[in-house]
Amino acid sequence: MKETTAIAHPNFALVKYWGKKDSKQNRPAMSSISITVDSMQSKTKISKNTLSNCHRLFINGVEETDLSKIFPSLFYLSEISKSDDYIVIQSENNFPTSSGLASSASGIASFVTAYDAHYGMNLGISDRIEACMLGSGSAPRSLIGGFVLMDHNNNYSCTQILQKEDWPVDVLICIASREAKKISSREGMEISKRTSPLYQDWLGSNERDISLALEAIREKNMSGLEKVTEKNCNFMHEVMKTSKPSIIYMNDVTHSCVAEIENLRASGHKLFYTVDAGPQIKIICDPKSTNTIKDTITHRTDVIDIIHTRLGGSPRIIDEN
């Protein structure tokens, strides 16, 4: 039986998306800039379901009963492929799922890539972006490697700012908890949009943060990128906190990592952090400082694990035979 497998990597936003313009089409209300990482990956296999008349989805070997997140992407794709197959989707992550590590972005991007290849569709980038975005607003960024801009003023085009080789920073993902998050990004964004008094200012700050980050990335300016990334991250967490009910993703371990990062910076190391909808802290650093940072964070905080990775590339089809 024909099976097609694709791998895609997660991406982490430096300038973040938090809030949707349109929740039906799942359109972000702002632009974002991200890095795609290496070594962490989602691997998704597609085959025809020859046993029953339904689509089936397995994540890390466990069958999901709720397919509502994948259906909009699947229906968009099957409309173009004209296939009426029922399919089996088997997706595996080599990192914790649903805990602020962008598993839905890499999961959806690997699914779209595998489906496109399975049905020989040869889709252009704009259809792949659309198919990904219907599944998760941050997923289109995982279609591209290195530093990526997703521009909401230009029909959500995703473009590469720098290739991974152009600025080979290291990325350290500090695992502060393995628990799945209690409030999904999707729910959290809706709450913030409706209730946070800071939401309009947050929207208003996006364009400036995007242009500051673009400039810093193009100049490979670590301290410039540090300032805009940390400011943007902390503003997003203020928006979350001032929502009603208040949404708090950071925990004590996250805060102790931030304190250590500030100490390391004061002693001359080049690094900065970002935190998404979960307590995990992502450190972007000069590879010369990686070992010192790992040792310091391991010995002086309660992080459970540190995943050391670099910048990654775009999704690819793999041959499993």
DSSP for residue 286: -
User: Which residue number, 165 or 201, has a Cβ lying nearer to ligand DP6?
Assistant: 201
CB of 29 closer than 8 Å to CB of 38: no
Per CB under 6 A, does 104 bind ligand DP6?
yes
Q: Would you call 321 helix, strand, or coil by DSSP? A: coil
Q: What angle do CA 239, 242, 246 make, to 5 degrees?
A: 110
Residue 16 contacts ligand DP6 per CB under 6 A: yes
Is 13 a binding residue for ligand DP6 by CB under 6 A? The answer is yes
Give the number of other Cβ atoms within 10 Å of residue 249's Cβ: 24
Q: Which range touches ligand DP6 (CB under 6 A), out of 46-54, 131-139, 206-214, 252-260?
A: 131-139
Whether the CB-CB separation of 249 and 71 falls below 8 Å is answered with no
277 binds ligand DP6 (CB under 6 A): yes
Interaction residues for ligand DP6, span 170-209 (CB under 6 A): 185-186
Give the separation between CA 180 and CA 58, rounded to whole angstroms.
17
Q: Report the nearest approach of ligand DP6 to the CB of residue 141 (Å).
A: 8
Interface with ligand DP6, residue 230, by CB under 6 A: no
The runs of H, that is alpha helices, within 196-269 are: 199-218, 222-241, 252-266
Site membership for ligand DP6, residue 18 (CB under 6 A): yes
Partners of 36 in the beta sheet?
11
- How many amino acids of this chain bind ligand DP6 (CB under 6 A)? 14
Of 264 and 277, CB closest to ligand DP6: 277
- Tokens for 17? 């998306």
User: CA 276 to CA 127: how far, in whole Å?
Assistant: 27
User: For residues 105 and 138, is the Cβ–Cβ distance under 8 A?
Assistant: yes
Residue from 110, 138, 256, 301 touching ligand DP6 (CB under 6 A): that is 138
DSSP percent split of the chain into helix, strand, coil, nearest 5: 40, 25, 35
C-beta of 4 vs 113, nearer to ligand DP6: 113
Query: CA–CA separation, 117 vs 114, rounded Å?
Result: 5
To the nearest whole angstrom, how small is the minimum distance from the Cβ of residue 66 to ligand DP6?
14
Q: Write the CB contacts of 117 (distance below 8 Å, at least 6 apart in sequence).
A: 4, 6, 317
Q: Which stretch binds ligand DP6 (CB under 6 A): 134-142, 191-199, 266-274, 279-287?
A: 134-142
Q: In what order do the strands lie in the sheet with 157-162?
A: 11-15, 32-36, 147-151, 157-162
Judged by CB under 6 A, the residue of 5, 31, 32, 192 near ligand DP6 is: 32
Q: Does 273 bind ligand DP6 (CB under 6 A)?
A: no
**HSE (side-chain half, CA atoms, 13 Å) at 186:** 16
Q: Six-digit token pair at 247?
A: 């949404």
Q: Is 156 in the site for ligand DP6 (CB under 6 A)?
A: no
Q: Which of residues 238-257 bind ligand DP6 (CB under 6 A)?
A: none
Q: At its nearest, how many Å lie between ligand DP6 and the CB of residue 53?
A: 28
Q: How far is the CB of 109 from ligand DP6 (least distance, A)?
A: 11
Shortest Cβ 200–ligand DP6 spacing (Å): 18
Please, what is the minimum distance in Å from the beta carbon of residue 320 to ligand DP6?
A: 28
The residue from 107, 137, 279, 312 that contacts ligand DP6 (CB under 6 A) is 137
Instruction: Pick the closer one to ligand DP6 by CB: 149 or 253.
Output: 149
- Provide the binding-site residues for ligand DP6, judged by CB under 6 A: 13, 16-18, 26, 32, 104, 136-138, 185-186, 276-277
